[in-house]
């Protein structure tokens, strides 16, 4: 029994180390002028001009295939949006609000008789859950947002200004 408990403890410790192993850090003062999210690749890329600054693996809405159609569909939108604001007091460790829904999204939803939804964010992990680190990547778990680890959202939060273009592609 002791060996089993020891094996479990070592496995849990190894998983926590993996989930929180530090990645390459974005240099201080780095500023991005564009954000690209590729849903199929589960990747967020920061750009300055044509230069790639850094790539981050992401979790998406629970139903990642296809663009967001309506409130509650658990899909991450697709299109060209902007970062509206920095939200330091989010239910998640920091958040950047995306300008979804835009006029086209609202018109499409109205034509279908549904609410387009709102409150799409790029955010960290739920408050109090930061220790799970990159283990959050094991599944798509958000309600339609784009999630990264807490250290990653700290970098993105600092590097991306309000008004920055964020393109979310299939």
Q: Which band of pLDDT confidence, cut at 50, 70 and 90, is reported for residue 14?
A: low
pLDDT above 70: residue 154: yes
Q: Which of 100, 94, 84, 97 is nearest to 149 (CA)?
A: 94
pLDDT, the chain, mean? 93
DSSP 75: P
pLDDT above 90: residue 70: yes
Q: Which of 156, 154, 158, 152 is nearest to 21 (CA)?
A: 152
Fold of 2-169: L,D-transpeptidase catalytic domain-like (2.40.440)
pTM for this predicted structure: 0.91
Q: Round to whole Å and give the CA distance between 51 and 46.
A: 9
pLDDT reported for residue 16: 65
Q: Phi and psi for 103 in degrees, rounded to 5?
A: -55, -40
Q: Chain-centre distance of CA 141, in angstroms?
A: 10
Q: Round to whole Å and give the CA distance between 159 and 137.
A: 22
Burial class (CB in 10 A: 0-12, 13-18, 19+), 139: exposed
pLDDT above 90: residue 23: no
Sign of CA dihedral 43, 124, 106, 104: negative
Q: pLDDT digits over 83-127, tens only?
A: 999 999 889 999 999 999 999 999 999 999 999 999 999 999 999
Q: Which band of pLDDT confidence, cut at 50, 70 and 90, is reported for residue 140?
A: very high
Q: pLDDT digits over 31-69, tens only?
A: 999 999 999 999 999 999 999 999 999 999 999 899 999
- Domains in the chain: boundaries: 2-169
């Amino acid at each position: 029994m002791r060996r089993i408990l020891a094996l479990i403890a070592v496995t849990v410790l190894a998983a926590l180390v993996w989930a929180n192993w530090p990645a390459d850090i974005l240099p201080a003062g780095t500023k991005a002028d564009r954000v690209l999210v590729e849903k199929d690749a589960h990747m967020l890329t920061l750009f300055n001009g044509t230069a790639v600054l850094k790539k981050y693996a992401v979790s998406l809405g629970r139903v990642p295939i296809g663009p967001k159609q309506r409130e509650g569909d658990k899909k991450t939108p697709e299109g060209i949006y902007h970062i509206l604001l920095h939200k330091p007091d989010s239910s998640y460790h920091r958040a950047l609000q995306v300008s979804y829904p835009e006029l086209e999204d609202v018109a499409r939803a109205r034509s279908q008789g549904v609410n387009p939804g709102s409150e799409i964010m790029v955010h960290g992990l739920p408050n109090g859950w930061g220790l799970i680190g990159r283990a959050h990547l094991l599944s798509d778990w958000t309600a339609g947002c784009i999630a990264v680890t807490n250290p990653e959202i700290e970098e993105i939060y600092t590097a991306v200004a309000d008004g920055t273009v964020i393109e979310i592609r299939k």
